[in-house]
Structure 1
Amino acid sequence: MRFKFLYTWLLVLIVLNTNAQLNLPVTLYAQHNQSMFNAGERVYSKIYVRSSKGLHMQPLNIYVDWYNPEGSLLTHQIYLTKFGGAEAGFEVPVDYPFSFLRMRMYTAGSLKQSSDFQFFDQVVFVNQQQNLRSKQLVDSALINPIPIQSDESIVVKKVVSSFNAKGRNEWVIENKGKDFLNLSISVAEEESFEFPKYTILQHFKSPISANQQLKTDYYDAFVQVKGILKMPDLNPSNASLVFSLFKRGQMPIIDQVPLGSDGSFSIDRLIFTDSAQLSLQLDYKGKRNQKFELSYQQLGLFKTAPLYAFNFYDSIPVFYSRLKNTNWMNYQKQDDNEVVVYTKTKSALEILEEKYTTGLFKGGDAVDFNMMLPTVRSFPTLFHFLQGKVPGLQIFFQSATSTQAMDSAVTAGRKEEESGIFGTPKFSWRSSQDQIKFFLNQVPVSVDALLQLPMADIAYIKVFRPPFLGAGMGAPNGAIAVYTKQGDEADFVPKKSKLTGFMLYGYTNPISFLSPDYSTEKRRAVIDKRKTLLWVPTIHLNHDKPNQGIVYYNNDRSKKHRIILEGVKQNGELIRKEWIVE
């Protein structure tokens, strides 16, 4: 009994300690891949979260609002942290006319903190060439020297280094200590490098002073929905509430939600990007088509953000460049995709071809069809859909009642049933009457198997002109290949569904940094003038995984590289290492 009592108290203390850490005030800081961006470029960021207990390891929703200098909102973003960090980003508009952006970070809990800790603002500078040429610029290296931390627990070892055009570089980051580390690293060409306005050692506020004035109503992590069913004489023991989350391009999430005694319910731990439709269905024992009144609320600040903001600490920030109007500074960087590879936008049919076909079924002399369009489902069979759509291919339906094999009405009924209610399809390429071969997911099948296939299950069709060499014995008179959906295609809630649905807002999908691979000669032909050579926003190191290697390639011009490593230990200590390789 004594041990049971002690165990219970230990469990209570653990739960109370966890809840206390969850609701601790936090502070935020962001590292960027560059300090100066051009219009049309992407800003890649890593947001760190720490509390008075150290790195905030529990998941937490981070909200980021981007404003122009006039205080107008450009976009509202939401990110979910993992082990005290979150990857973020923003694309500067191509026609952006201002010299800087304002990045405002906060949490639902920080809005209840003291005024100095409600928002964590940073300025991101945008290169406007006409302003740089006409202004006297001061060397920022003399004005704002950057403190460098010497942390013995982190060692960065060079494996290979090359400053040739598109030369390969490899480094290994090693954690010598036992503490968990959350790191991010950027590698930039030194010739165009501008000293950053922010560093983690100078500008990451101490969370000790971030007193929380009011207790938060809930812990804001993941996508959460709370609601209540309003029904007279509701008996939750006889009711079952099922939710379905529908997101384009993904399989729906279906689960059951427990109901409280008052009809209340809570759905949490949902993760999806952009938006999704949440649908609810009530199953009540002994009653069908039960109607109910529902009120719900999506928790957090997913939908709204102030359209205007004017309470920024730095009203008119000034950028001091160390580069005196050189061609390095004025260079307008192309989009990452254009730097790395030559590509073009793929059509819907090209995407389907790449997704479904393999081997000899890929490419070839064929006419293909996207079967995921809404109008496709109006056709009774795929052969009715193909009628008149393939030049040279004739499709007609021969009813069993028109054949000479009809001996009786019973026999006719059986024939009709076997061949489908619309008769047996017959095919011919121009004058040829020989049989076409059929494939379902590249496996040979009979025409009857395709007749029974629901139109809603078909994703893609390819009609191969004769001859087709993909068949085992060949198909001199062509083939029809049908591909069914794999389950990850876009879906929707059918009309007249029993489900009651409403839209939810999800997380912003950060764009991954594209690091080119020049190990093959084909890729080495592109012109590369990247300023950021490498950006790795998330590096997790601990005692079990102490090392991580990084590989990047030089651009076509740089002879010096500046490497900046920033991060936070689990105990809250800040990390910054910076050095030049030449």
Structure 2
Amino acid sequence: MMKKMIFTSSLMWSLTLFAQGKAEQALKIFEEKYPQEKIHLLFDKKSYVAGENLWFKSFIYTGYEPTSVSTSLFVELYDSNKTLLDKKMIPLLNGEGNGNFALPENMKENVYYIRAYTTWSTNFSEEFQAIRSVEVYNPSSPEKLMIDTASGWNVTLHPESGTFIDQINTKFAVRLHSKGQKPLNWKGYITELARPDVKLTSFKGFDENIGSFKLTPELGKKYQLTVEDDKGKKQTVDLPEVISAGINLQMESSPEAIKYSLVSKNMGTESQTYTILGTINDQIVYKAKLNTLSDKIYTIPTEKLVNGILQLSIFNEKDDLLLQRMCFIQPKHLQVKKAELSKISFNGASRSQNIFNITNSIDSPNYTVLVLNGDSKSTEDENSFLSTLLLTGDISTDLESPARYFRKDSDADALDAVLISEKWKRYDWKMIMAGSYPMIKNKTEPYISYKGKVTLSGKPAANTDLNLIFSMPDNGTKFYQIKTDQSGFFALHGLMFEDSIKFSYQLNDPKIPKEQVQVIFQPNYSYIPLRGALPRSYYTLQPRTPEDQTSPEVIKYTEAKNMYKVINEKATLIEEVKIIKQKKNLTKKLNDELSSLTFKNSNEVIFDFVNDINAGSYMNILDYLQGRVAGLQMQKQGFDVTATFRGAPISIFLDEMPASPSQISSLPSSDVAMIKVIRGYFVGGTGGNTNGAIAIYTKRGGVSGNIDNSSKPTNLKQITLKGYDKEIAFSNPDYSNESFKNISKDTRTVLYWNPFLEIQPKEPVKVEFYNNDETKDYRVIIIGYDSNSFLPVYYDNVLKP
């Protein structure tokens, strides 16, 4: 993706390319050492009633690629007083994670907030952590939520590139701000203070956020903006003072190019050189020098640039930042891959089955799929995956429904006006050019990490072997040996487990009494308190009266909540699901029997040769993996096979011992019990391996690391470590099963939720769900990314039977 962003300036504009300057060097350091993460949250619904489950999916990106920096996400639930109500820690696989919050039955009706952040993101401004508001309704609550229409609004003015110069036609952005609901319809006009009855120019607001106008000022005159909403409320704002000399940077985005010019007046006759840097995220994609100022229009072709915010920064010979301006690259030609649906079988009848396939023409590891009633609202309506990735993930701003700027009917002029009114906040040129970079206080760790200290009779056990004996549910008992340092410390990195794990410990010397050995553990991660304020809310609380009627939406949510109780208490799986589940359980059981804790990773692909696969036709067992794992490549040279994952060599293990391809080539396929492809960091990696592994387990190899005497750990000291928070499974009724026939009323608005629909190569991706009693149309939302180009995959459409 980064290669696609790079644009090399040529000499076609008579601009001189130059050596790397101070600003470019500073940004290169920032890009390499301080990658910036964007966090997007998708909820299964936009609002809830007390007692429901709130399911969420997270997407974390650095630039325009799934993050490779963080492997854990912290998600917190706050009330409107900033009281922390609940918190979760979830694993990230290719930058994605999912979980849920169980909302208490007695939760008061109010606006609540979901905050998501990584350890790495806490080193930077809290503005770029994800904080999303969510309305929770409760008809039994003494107060009710009402949209705030009473709060006033105010106006701010933003001249293009920040200058307002005599006789230079200048574009202004007009921005509305409010603690409550902003007016949708509003307009404005410009007058001279000396002639208030003469309108120099008029305009209408594009939307609740922004409007724009152009004005050519005269020196010595003062101007005023008057804004009026559809209710007759007015506000006046003075325009900046007109200056006699300066430069105005003007930009325009077209499908073919970004056009810019430096329009100046009274800048003197002294020779001056201006440096122009164009940046996307933290990368310089354009650079040039100007030796003279003129009204000439320069162009930056967009064919090699990705969609996103391009910022032009103008420096003088002293490296002083003079001007900045942002614009969006090809806003009407988004480079987004759209999921294609096939074999659509929709039936509008009550409780009927619906099926569609997602055409597997995109190299994506998985999709997030959400199916709602056709008229249902989603959190994607306000801030979508695309608007986070392309706008609000980099511009911390108070915008009403920024998702609007990336729909088919979006207004490119409105988006341009938004960017005129904003500043790039990921870094400050003056700070980084002065060598002042963010202070990294919180270092990221791979998945779950613990640090520990071993003492023997109260003194540090230096350079000592410690045996950890793990007991995991349905996973038997296994051991892992570690060595302390000179101070008795050790660390466990890259652990991947849910809920908790119990283990016993002892020194490797059995002669040392266990009473003399003490091990203290401390997690290498922590929840970081929120320092800043919560975002504003569009709602206020008012006393509930006996005459108040519960809204139809809340009634449906309540009925659906009660229906889910019936499902969870009485539902039984049909025989086909039992078979599928049994098959999956057999594979899980095999993986648990064969894999030690250090070779477990949630980002793994398992091939079960005991219960599922017949590999008898493969001479070399590595041949079987070709084309079956995205990013994994096998290359043959004679009888040898070498393996790479996303271009880098990947380690090979046989029964969890390092092995060479020649060893594997002589292994009969009939002896293979399981192959596991681990993608990314794992504890069992050697030599700092972070690219993953191919782990092959033989039938004769047995269980690696098993303890023959399962009662032995009970005689040792024990301790429990906390793992990731386990998600409550999302369930839906299966009306092909008689057990669901007793459901009296089905008013679900969420018909299907799968935050991690895994894709198997060369196999159709099928989605199946059942109607409620009312749905006629279906809103289908699909989110993913292409593993090759890293272009986003996005689909949000309403489909009819």
Displacement after TM superposition at 1:253 (Å): 4.1
Displacement after TM superposition at 1:46 (Å): 0.6
In the superposition, relative to structure 1, how do residues 30 and 155 fare at CA in structure 2: closer, same or farther (>3 Å)?
same
> Structure 2 matches for 1:176-575, cutoff 5 A?
176-178=361-363, 180=364, 182-193=366-377, 196-204=381-389, 205-206=392-393, 210=426, 213-215=438-440, 218-230=443-455, 236=463, 239-247=464-472, 251-284=476-509, 287=512, 291-292=516-517, 294-301=519-526, 304=527, 306=529, 309=530, 311-318=532-539, 327-331=552-556, 332=558, 333-335=560-562, 337-338=564-565, 340=567, 343=570, 494=714, 497-499=715-717, 501-526=718-743, 527-541=745-759, 544-545=761-762, 547-570=764-787, 571-575=789-793
Q: Work out which of the residue numbers 160, 165, 168 in structure 1 matches 2:350.
A: 165
In the superposition, relative to structure 1, how do residues 133 and 559 fare at CA in structure 2: closer, same or farther (>3 Å)?
farther
Aligned mates of 2:92, 2:448 — CA distance in 1: 13
Contact kept? 1:563, 1:579, Cα under 8 Å? yes
Displacement after TM superposition at 1:581 (Å): 1.9
User: Which amino acid in structure 2 is aligned with residue 315 of structure 1?
Assistant: R
In the superposition, relative to structure 1, how do residues 163 and 199 fare at CA in structure 2: closer, same or farther (>3 Å)?
same
1:29-64 CA-to-partner distances (Å, cap 9, x unmatched) read 111111111111111111111113611257611111
Contact kept? 1:223, 1:270, Cα under 8 Å? yes
User: Which amino acid in structure 1 is aligned with residue 39 of structure 2?
Assistant: L
Tell me whether 520-529 or 63-72 shows the greater mean CA deviation. 520-529
Displacement after TM superposition at 1:173 (Å): 1.2
Q: Work out which of the residue numbers 112, 127, 131 in structure 1 matches 2:144.
A: 131
Contact kept? 2:42, 2:56, Cα under 8 Å? yes
In the superposition, relative to structure 1, how do residues 533 and 217 fare at CA in structure 2: closer, same or farther (>3 Å)?
closer
Aligned mates of 2:798, 2:724 — CA distance in 1: 36
Secondary structure of 1:334's counterpart equals helix
Structure 1: gaps of 5 or more residues: 1-19, 346-354, 356-486
Aligned mates of 1:91, 1:144 — CA distance in 2: 34
| TM-score, scaled to structure 2 | 0.45
User: Which amino acid in structure 1 is aligned with residue 367 of structure 2?
Assistant: L
Contact kept? 1:188, 1:532, Cα under 8 Å? yes
Displacement after TM superposition at 1:558 (Å): 1.5
Contact kept? 2:338, 2:793, Cα under 8 Å? no
In the superposition, relative to structure 1, how do residues 113 and 191 fare at CA in structure 2: closer, same or farther (>3 Å)?
closer
1:453-486 CA-to-partner distances (Å, cap 9, x unmatched) read xxxxxxxxxxxxxxxxxxxxxxxxxxxxxxxxxx
| TM-score, scaled to structure 1 | 0.60
Displacement after TM superposition at 1:126 (Å): 1.5
User: Which amino acid in structure 2 is aligned with residue 537 of structure 1?
Assistant: P
Q: Aligned residues: percent identity?
A: 17
User: Which amino acid in structure 2 is aligned with residue 243 of structure 1?
Assistant: L
In the superposition, relative to structure 1, how do residues 108 and 335 fare at CA in structure 2: closer, same or farther (>3 Å)?
farther
**Corresponding residue for 1:361?**
none
User: Which amino acid in structure 1 is aligned with residue 85 of structure 2?
Assistant: L
Contact kept? 1:76, 1:305, Cα under 8 Å? no
Aligned mates of 1:22, 1:537 — CA distance in 2: 31
Contact kept? 1:46, 1:85, Cα under 8 Å? yes
Aligned mates of 1:246, 1:23 — CA distance in 2: 39
Secondary structure of 1:116's counterpart equals helix
Displacement after TM superposition at 1:26 (Å): 1.9
Tell me whether 95-104 or 153-162 shows the greater mean CA deviation. 153-162
Contact kept? 1:153, 1:177, Cα under 8 Å? no
Secondary structure of 2:359's counterpart equals strand
Displacement after TM superposition at 1:272 (Å): 2.6
Aligned mates of 2:569, 2:512 — CA distance in 1: 61
Displacement after TM superposition at 1:509 (Å): 0.5
In the superposition, relative to structure 1, how do residues 240 and 317 fare at CA in structure 2: closer, same or farther (>3 Å)?
same
Aligned mates of 2:479, 2:525 — CA distance in 1: 22
Structure 2: gaps of 5 or more residues: 1-30, 150-179, 186-206, 210-331, 395-423, 428-436, 541-548, 573-581, 583-706
In the superposition, relative to structure 1, how do residues 299 and 149 fare at CA in structure 2: closer, same or farther (>3 Å)?
same
Aligned mates of 1:344, 1:522 — CA distance in 2: 6
Displacement after TM superposition at 1:291 (Å): 2.6
Displacement after TM superposition at 1:135 (Å): 8.4
In the superposition, relative to structure 1, how do residues 549 and 140 fare at CA in structure 2: closer, same or farther (>3 Å)?
farther
Contact kept? 1:339, 1:530, Cα under 8 Å? no
Contact kept? 2:78, 2:112, Cα under 8 Å? yes
Displacement after TM superposition at 1:111 (Å): 1.0
Q: Work out which of the residue numbers 103, 110, 133 in structure 2 matches 1:99.
A: 110
Q: How many residues of Structure 1 are paired with residues of Structure 2 in the alignment?
A: 404
Aligned mates of 2:88, 2:147 — CA distance in 1: 35
Secondary structure of 2:516's counterpart equals coil
Displacement after TM superposition at 1:27 (Å): 1.9
**Corresponding residue for 1:26?**
37
Tell me how large the CA RMSD over aligned residues is: 4.1
**Corresponding residue for 2:11?**
none
In the superposition, relative to structure 1, how do residues 559 and 217 fare at CA in structure 2: closer, same or farther (>3 Å)?
closer
Contact kept? 1:59, 1:221, Cα under 8 Å? yes
Displacement after TM superposition at 1:157 (Å): 2.1
Displacement after TM superposition at 1:96 (Å): 1.3
In the superposition, relative to structure 1, how do residues 36 and 235 fare at CA in structure 2: closer, same or farther (>3 Å)?
closer
Displacement after TM superposition at 1:266 (Å): 1.7
In the superposition, relative to structure 1, how do residues 269 and 277 fare at CA in structure 2: closer, same or farther (>3 Å)?
same
Displacement after TM superposition at 1:263 (Å): 3.3
Q: Work out which of the residue numbers 59, 75, 96 in structure 2 matches 1:64.
A: 75
**Corresponding residue for 1:41?**
52
Aligned mates of 1:148, 1:556 — CA distance in 2: 39
Aligned mates of 1:210, 1:335 — CA distance in 2: 46
Displacement after TM superposition at 1:310 (Å): 6.6
Q: Work out which of the residue numbers 59, 63, 66 in structure 2 matches 1:55.
A: 66
Aligned mates of 1:101, 1:75 — CA distance in 2: 11
**Corresponding residue for 2:797?**
579
**Corresponding residue for 1:122?**
132
Displacement after TM superposition at 1:160 (Å): 0.6
User: Which amino acid in structure 1 is aligned with residue 734 of structure 2?
Assistant: D
Aligned mates of 1:216, 1:52 — CA distance in 2: 22
